[in-house]
Structure 1
Amino acid sequence: MATLNHARLLGDDAAPPVTGTAALASAAIPRRAAARPGALLAVATAGLLGMTVLVAGEPPAAAQGAQPDSRSVSVARALGIDSSSPLEDRSLTREGDLLEQLAVSRAERETEQAAAAQAQGQAEQAARAEAEARAAAEAKAAAEAARPTAVMPVDAARMTSSFGPRWGTLHAGVDLAAPMMTPEFAAMDGIVLQAGPASGFGLAVYIQHANGDVTVYGHMEKILVSAGQVVRAGDTIALVGNRGQSTGPHLHFEVRIGGLNGEPVDPLGYLRQWGVQI
């Protein structure tokens, strides 16, 4: 293979000879091109490229038996991460801890909300109960205020005998005629002293009131109260009858001042004093 002396072409006899691919590239150029500087530059460039190809094609130093640097740098240690466990596992553990904390926080929040709701429900229930009790008390007070102090002992009755002398004796009450089984009422609030058979009346009821006075009801067909029972004005205590010394169904009604054996007074005048319209 012919060898081309680059130094001779360039006019430098001291330059070393060129061999290999560069020499082949130089030999392919016609001689007449050697006289032109541009051609010489092209030949030199081709030689340099050939040398670069040869250099790039050489195997790395490690493949030729060179020993690698035994010093190594731990990236995990440099970043402050424990290299004993994978990064992915540590991320999963951290996420699990966060989820557990969220679950605990949610449970605590739900417990607090449930306790608050229960307390609110109890407060509302207590408020409703208090309002209902207050309303009931007000209704009772209103009903009590509206309730009459005294009433006629029989509704729509006809007076057949008044208070005063009759047949040579004192008729100590009034006779109020009404159909059989007509309801009879307590004239005022009081307590039943006696209720049952009575001389001349057949059956009779005696009620003592707060001021000590006693009202008497006689000739009834049926008694609906018993001794010791508390009654209020207008409560039904018996049904009109015709028992005892009677000429027809009626109620014999008396008022005795101060007690069971007190002085009899005109019942109609007495009831008027208590606001009864007769």
Structure 2
Amino acid sequence: MAGRRRAQRSGDPRVPAPSRAQRPAPGPRRGPLLLTALVVGGLVAGVTGVSSASDTPTGSTSVLAAQMELATVGDDVETLPMASITVAEAEARLAEVAASRAERAAAEAAAAEAAREAARPKAVLPVDGARFTSGYGGRWGTFHYGIDLAAPMRTPEYAAMDGVVLRAGSASGFGLAVYVLHENGDVTVYGHMDSILVEPGQYVEAGETIALLGNRGQSTGPHLHFEVHQGGMNGKRIDPVPWLAARGVEV
């Protein structure tokens, strides 16, 4: 029996088992390696995400994004040429503005002067608040060719109307006197003043102070002797009261 079994085994048609040298090499161990890669990759991704989140604030990310967006939009906008004028054109414009301002200032000054001219008096009483002490006409055997207006010493005396000073200084009988020529050709005379404040050739307006009242010459007390020579220095000496009244001035 043993010899038969041994013969049967030796003659068994089964494929003989390969030798150790003929066995194929085992395949790579992919399972453990793949698991290791997944674990390491997850750790790296987690660390990177945490670092990025902590290093870049949300606000900074928004500002950066906005700046990038503006930069992108700006690149598409066309650059406009710079507008300009020449120096000569600028100087001409400055001259126009200066001329306009000067014209406006002149107009305003003219308007102010016109208002002042309209408001000021055209005729005044030569001494404000004076007492009428003597009139035009015969007096003590002589003719008195003017009127006397009494007031305290050195009271201001005014030009009765606009005019130009013809004479100013010493005068017979008056001590000191001032003669003023007016536009209508009449001359007004002021005598006995203590001091004179104008000079020949000076233009004076109605109400302008020309002297300070006094008591010089043939005088019995501080007063102004006031005369009107109709038509000029050598014209007829007329009564000053109606002459003043015709110009709205009461004595």
Q: Deviation digits for residues 59-104 of structure 1, max 9, x if unmatched?
A: xxxxxxxxxxxxxxxxxxxxxxxxxxxxxxxxxxxxxxxxxxx9xx
AA of the residue aligned to 2:188: T
Q: Structure 2 regions of 5+ residues with no counterpart?
A: 1-14, 16-78
Residue 147 of structure 2 aligns with which residue? 174
User: RMSD of the TM alignment (CA)?
Assistant: 2.3
1:212 lines up with 2:185 in the alignment: yes
1:231 lines up with 2:204 in the alignment: yes
Residue of structure 2 aligned with 1:163, choices 131, 136, 142: 136
1-structure distance, mates of 2:181, 2:87: 59
2-structure distance, mates of 1:242, 1:163: 19
Residue 222 of structure 2 aligns with which residue? 249
Higher relative contact order (CA 8 A, sep 6+): 2
Instruction: Kindly name which structure, 1 or 2, has the bigger radius of gyration based on alpha carbons.
Output: 1
Residue of structure 2 aligned with 1:127, choices 100, 110, 134: 100
Which deviates more from structure 2 when the two are superposed, residues 216-225 or residues 139-148? 139-148
Q: Structure 1 regions of 5+ residues with no counterpart?
A: 1-29, 31-101
Instruction: Give % identity.
Output: 62
Displacement of 1:119 in angstroms is: 4.5
Kept in 1, the 8 Å contact 2:241–2:250? The answer is: no
Q: Deviation digits for residues 189-230 of structure 1, max 9, x if unmatched?
A: 111111100111000011111111111000000011111222
2-structure distance, mates of 1:118, 1:230: 42
AA of the residue aligned to 1:241: G
2-structure distance, mates of 1:259, 1:114: 62
Kept in 1, the 8 Å contact 2:151–2:213? The answer is: yes
Question: Which aligned pairs between 1:1-278 and structure 2 lie closer than 5 A?
Answer: 106=82, 109=83, 111-112=84-85, 118-278=91-251
Any idea what SS the aligned residue of 1:193 has?
strand
Any idea what SS the aligned residue of 1:259 has?
coil
AA of the residue aligned to 2:223: H
AA of the residue aligned to 1:186: A
AA of the residue aligned to 1:216: V
Any idea what SS the aligned residue of 1:181 has?
coil
Any idea what SS the aligned residue of 1:176 has?
strand
